[in-house]
Amino acid sequence: MRILHAAIAIAILCASSSAIGDKPRALVVIVAKGSKVTGLSRAELRRAFSGDAVVVDGDRLVPFNYTPGSPERVAFDRAILGLSPEEVGRFWVDRKIRGESQPPRALANASLVIRIVARFPGAIGYIPADQVTDDVVAVTVDGVPPSSPDYPIAIK
Amino acid sequence: MRRFVWALALLVPTTASAQPGETPPSEPAPVVEPPPAVPVPVVTKPPAVASSDDLDLATLDLVPGKVDEHLNIYGFIDFGWRDLMVPDTSLAANYFPKESSFFVGNVNLYVAKNLSSHWRSMLEVRFLYAPAGATNTDGTFVHTSAPDPGDLQRPVSWGSIAIERVYLEYEVNESLTIQAGSFLTPYGIWNVDHGSPAIIPVSRPYIIGEQLFPQQQTGLHLYGKHPIGDYQLSYHGTLSNGRGPFQAFRDLDDNMAVGGRLELETPWLDGVHIGISGYRGRFTDRPADVITADASGNLTNSTPAGTQYDEVSYGADLLVRRGGLHIQAEVIGNDRHYLVNNRELVTGGFAADGRYLGSYALVGYRFDRWWQLMPFAIVELDRMRPTAAVGDKPVVFQPSIGLNFRPDPSVVLKLQYNRATIYSQLDLSFGAFSAQAAWAF
């Protein structure tokens, strides 16, 4: 009987570990510390990250993305642009053929995003919530604060 | 029983966090509730990375106030096969090739550069085999060949270049940009998409090919976007030479053409675009000026009569994208009124004033598998301008079905069958099967 209990315990532990592994990781939109921007709407994010010029509080936003296929990029594109990785690829190719603007600059990792957003005027990016540093500030999206469970962007 | 229990334990999926050899907890782990969407609060911690001060933005080609000033060269190409099933008894055989053929369609090259943060240059050219294959007045084909100095003077075929668009652009602010040069007329959906990888079917609708709006214009194009909450309004205004035989470099009349477009992008159904477009201009084609001298020897420059008409074009368009669903539709009209003594001579007599109306609707669904397959269907209905050759009110009905594959964002493979029926006093109906590979680079 002890063996049965032990086996059930192992099974539950493994199952719960699996669930924890699949737990969404919050992504937060960041700006430089001291920026006038404290919040953005989804529509503004969608426009900024799909190539349109967006001015908020007098500052023109300069978006920085992750490389295509990275978990952060996939999650952000789904949440804000409503596009799968394949759709995003088509979106930018089609836009290029129309002669419209090129995609935002893609960066390799969160530490680079933080360092550039902290220093580049008007820059915005997004990083996992647990990697926010003192150099940058997470902003609200549609008025939802980054600490809220309703914040709309997460790696699933 | 033991065997069953161990088997059960082994069947449970393991994760990296459950390493072999780890001691299982003595108590059963609590059941984990489904996690909330974003359970992790923002954690502010000391920088996990080196201070931002050590980062030289210039080494990343990131200088505040400076834009990417690289020369960008890119473009698209398409290659296809077409079988126009034109019966010998159909008069369409006089206008379209009867043979099935492979063909190189578009070879378009873009050269774009940001000259500074506000100024941008753009050039798109299309390489053509034309005039090879054109028909001479005696019915023979034009053959283009010249001695090749690099190959013992053997004949080499040559082609030509069409300038699709070339302009200088100045961004006044985020809501207004001014283009000066030759640009694609901002109307509807098709004319701006225009590149074969970006459009879903193999061939454009007949009504788009008929250019009820001029495909290109030369002059000034002002455009911009203005967000209104979750909506976005795009606007375009044009002032140009208008339609003409040499519209890119010479306007044969002093009448400027004006046009405009409004497009509302809405959040409905994940994205619905509604647009209206208009254009008004004068077309002029005529012989060159002549110089005559009167009895006193005074020279006079006079302009001979040619073909001249005023035209008004108007259109409305709708684009719906929801998940894999894609719906687009356009309705386009053009009214033409010839000026007195400037009516065009066409087959069967003089061209008549009149209205040309056309419309198409395209519905497709993009799957996220099978090379991103999109089956699509198009229905087109046009009422042509009356002509002596084809009758009073010829009507074109053209249904099409096809498949569009996108195995890679830059590569598109297409298959299409369409059947064109032209209801007129002449038999001009035919079917066509076509295949195309288009790619962007």
- Fill in the DSSP letter of residue B24: P
Q: Tokens for B90? A: 């159909």
Q: How far apart are CA B392 and CA B384, in angstroms?
A: 9
Q: Do B32 and A19 touch (CB under 8 A)?
A: yes
Q: Is residue A5 part of a domain?
A: no
Please give the pLDDT value at position A4.
58
Chain A, nearest residue to B72 by Cα: A102
Q: Tokens for B237? A: 């205004």
Q: How far apart are CA B278 and CA B217, in angstroms?
A: 13
Q: Is residue A100 part of a domain?
A: yes
Q: Is A119 on the interface with B (CB under 8 A)?
A: yes
Q: Give the three-class secondary structure for B54.
A: helix
Question: Among positive and negative, which fits the CA dihedral A28, A32, A34, A38?
Answer: negative
Q: What are the chain A neighbours of B28 within 8 Å (beta carbons)?
A: 5, 8-9, 12
Phi and psi (nearest 5°) for B216?
-125, 160
Query: Residue B16: pLDDT band by 50, 70, 90 thresholds?
Result: very low
Structural domain of residue A103, as residue ranges?
24-155
Q: Is residue A144 part of a domain?
A: yes
Averaged pLDDT, B327-355: 91
Give the Å distances, CA to CA, from A66 to A73, A77, B225, B321, B441: 5, 10, 26, 25, 22
Averaged pLDDT, B349-374: 94
**Of B40, B52, B232, which is closest to A25 when you measure between CB atoms?**
B40
Supply the Cα-derived Rg of chain B in whole angstroms: 30
For position A51, which CATH number holds?
A: 3.40.190.10
pLDDT over 70 for what percent of chain B? 87
Please give the pLDDT value at position A71.
94
Quick: pLDDT tens for B283-333. Answer: 999 999 999 998 999 999 998 889 999 999 999 999 999 989 999 999 999
What amino acid occupies position B100? Answer: S
Please give the pLDDT value at position B15.
35
Q: Is A102 on the interface with B (CB under 8 A)?
A: yes
Residues 6+ apart with CB under 8 A from B183: B165, B167, B216, B217, B218, B221, B238
**Of B6, B60, B267, which is closest to A7 when you measure between CB atoms?**
B6
Q: Do A21 and B15 touch (CB under 8 A)?
A: yes
Q: Is B341 on the interface with A (CB under 8 A)?
A: no
Quick: pLDDT tens for B379-393. Answer: 999 998 877 666 777
Q: Is B270 on the interface with A (CB under 8 A)?
A: yes
Residue B21: pLDDT over 80: no
Task: Provide the shortest C-alpha distance from residue A95 to chain B (in Å).
Answer: 8
Q: Do A14 and B14 touch (CB under 8 A)?
A: yes
Antiparallel, parallel or unpaired: β A105-107 and A62-66: parallel
Phi and psi (nearest 5°) for B302?
-130, 150
What amino acid occupies position B234? Answer: S
Please give the pLDDT value at position B345.
84
Residue B186: pLDDT over 50: yes
Count of beta carbons in the 10 Å neighbourhood of residue B308: 20
Q: How far apart are CA B323 and CA A83, in angstroms?
A: 8
Q: What are the chain A neighbours of B198 within 8 Å (beta carbons)?
A: 93-94, 97-98
- Fill in the DSSP letter of residue A78: I
Q: Do A134 and B110 touch (CB under 8 A)?
A: no
Q: Is residue A29 part of a domain?
A: yes
Q: What total of structural domains would you count in chain A?
A: 1
CB B74 within 8 A of CB B440: yes
Q: Give the three-class secondary structure for B119.
A: strand
Please give the pLDDT value at position A10.
57
Domains present along chain B, CATH in parentheses: 68-287+299-440 (2.40.160.10)
Q: What is the largest CA-CA distance in chain A?
A: 71
What amino acid occupies position A123? Answer: A
Please, is B94 exposed, middle or buried when counting C-beta atoms within 10 Å of its C-beta (0-12, 13-18, 19+)?
exposed
What average pLDDT does chain A have?
A: 87
Alpha helix stretches (DSSP H) within B72-142: none
Higher pLDDT, B153 or B31: B153
Q: Tokens for A115? A: 């360092």
Q: Is residue A8 part of a domain?
A: no
Q: Is A15 on the interface with B (CB under 8 A)?
A: yes
Task: Provide the shortest C-alpha distance from residue B73 to chain A (in Å).
Answer: 11
Please give the pLDDT value at position B95.
76
Examine the predicted complex and report whether its ipTM is higher than 0.90: no
Q: Is A6 on the interface with B (CB under 8 A)?
A: yes
Please give the pLDDT value at position B29.
39
Q: Do A15 and B12 touch (CB under 8 A)?
A: yes
Quick: pLDDT tens for B111-131. Answer: 999 999 899 999 999 999 999
Chain B, nearest residue to A7 by Cα: B9
What average pLDDT does chain B have?
A: 86
Instruction: Give the count of alpha carbons within 13 A of B93, CB side only.
Output: 9
What amino acid occupies position B136? Answer: N
Supply the Cα-derived Rg of chain A in whole angstroms: 19
Residue A122: pLDDT over 70: yes
Q: Is residue A1 part of a domain?
A: no
Count of beta carbons in the 10 Å neighbourhood of residue B349: 11
Please give the pLDDT value at position A113.
96
Query: Residue B47: pLDDT band by 50, 70, 90 thresholds?
Result: very low
Please give the pLDDT value at position B2.
47
Q: Is B27 on the interface with A (CB under 8 A)?
A: yes
Please give the pLDDT value at position B284.
96
CB B207 within 8 A of CB B397: no
Instruction: Give the count of alpha carbons within 13 A of B275, CB side only.
Output: 28
Residue identified by tokens 């809220």 is A148
Q: Tokens for A81? A: 């642009």
Query: Residue A2: pLDDT band by 50, 70, 90 thresholds?
Result: low
Q: Do B28 and A84 touch (CB under 8 A)?
A: no
Q: Is A8 on the interface with B (CB under 8 A)?
A: yes
Phi and psi (nearest 5°) for B61?
60, 35
Q: Tokens for B339? A: 């000026």
Q: Is residue A14 part of a domain?
A: no
Q: What are the chain B neighbours of A5 within 8 Å (beta carbons)?
A: 28
* A 30-59 → B contacts, CB under 8 A: 41-44, 47, 52-55
Q: Is residue A102 part of a domain?
A: yes
What amino acid occupies position B244? Answer: G
Q: Do A129 and B74 touch (CB under 8 A)?
A: no
Averaged pLDDT, B349-365: 93
Averaged pLDDT, A2-9: 60
Quick: pLDDT tens for B187-228. Answer: 999 998 889 999 999 988 999 999 999 999 999 999 999 999
Q: What are the chain A neighbours of B49 within 8 Å (beta carbons)?
A: 111, 114-115, 133
Q: Is B69 on the interface with A (CB under 8 A)?
A: no
Q: Is A100 on the interface with B (CB under 8 A)?
A: no
Quick: pLDDT tens for B223-282. Answer: 999 999 889 999 999 999 999 999 999 999 999 999 999 999 998 887 899 999 999 999
Q: Is A92 on the interface with B (CB under 8 A)?
A: yes
**Of A18, A52, A148, which is closest to B225 when you measure between CB atoms?**
A52
